[in-house]
Structure 1
């Protein structure tokens, strides 16, 4: 059985897109995990400090002066939101990886017996 070269090309492109999608999701997942760890480190550093002490926070490209008491709740909220997003990315990675594995199983040539 001879396969159509055009359909082979289409399958190869689809496979490449799936691989790129999974890789991009994994990279974003790792980046978000690093962001969570960084926010947790900052929060741990601020814990023992007085609530009224000055703290600086980068908002976009602007350094904003606030108090430790104002920054800590913001950090806790941001960490929770990042962890929720990480969970969503994890689910997407699992789904796309499964889709990729099914695609590879379906179109990988098998040796003749």
Structure 2
């Protein structure tokens, strides 16, 4: 049976918390998409550099400065950066999942409708 609190309008705090969770979820989704694009770019560069001679010149953008290095020097840092991006993306996905579960609990508890 439904309780009397679900028959009346939900408390404003619950509605605000629900909206806040939805906004944060959208922001996280956008950030994840950005990081996935960065990761894909790192993978493309890694795949391009892999077959090259380790002593071949390679240029790397550091801040706004283009720095000359060798493939042997650049490749490990690209792999490390990609690994860090993978870990960050996984962490953000876990946080997103937690937020979505919390929002779903609030939605069900107060019978909120998503527009």
Taking a change above 3 Å as real, the CA distance of residues 109 and 40 of structure 1, as seen in their structure-2 partners, is closer
Local SS of the residue matching 1:52 = coil
Taking a change above 3 Å as real, the CA distance of residues 82 and 92 of structure 1, as seen in their structure-2 partners, is same
CA distance in structure 2 between the partners assigned to 1:15 and 1:63 by the alignment: 46
- If asked which structure has higher relative contact order (CA below 8 Å, sep 6+), I would say 2
- 8 Å contact from structure 2 (residues 59, 68) kept in 1: yes
CA distance in structure 1 between the partners assigned to 2:62 and 2:106 by the alignment: 43
| TM-aligned CA deviation for residue 33 of structure 1 | 1.0
Please say if 1:27 is aligned against 2:30: yes
CA distance in structure 2 between the partners assigned to 1:40 and 1:109 by the alignment: 42
Please say if 1:16 is aligned against 2:11: no
| TM-aligned CA deviation for residue 65 of structure 1 | 1.1
Which residue of 65, 70, 77 corresponds with 1:74?
77
TM-score (norm 2): 0.84
Please say if 1:65 is aligned against 2:68: yes
Residue correspondences, number: 108
Local SS of the residue matching 2:98 = helix
Q: What is the alpha-carbon root mean square deviation over aligned residues?
A: 2.1
Structure 1 stretches of 5 or more lacking a match?
none
Structure 2 stretches of 5 or more lacking a match?
none
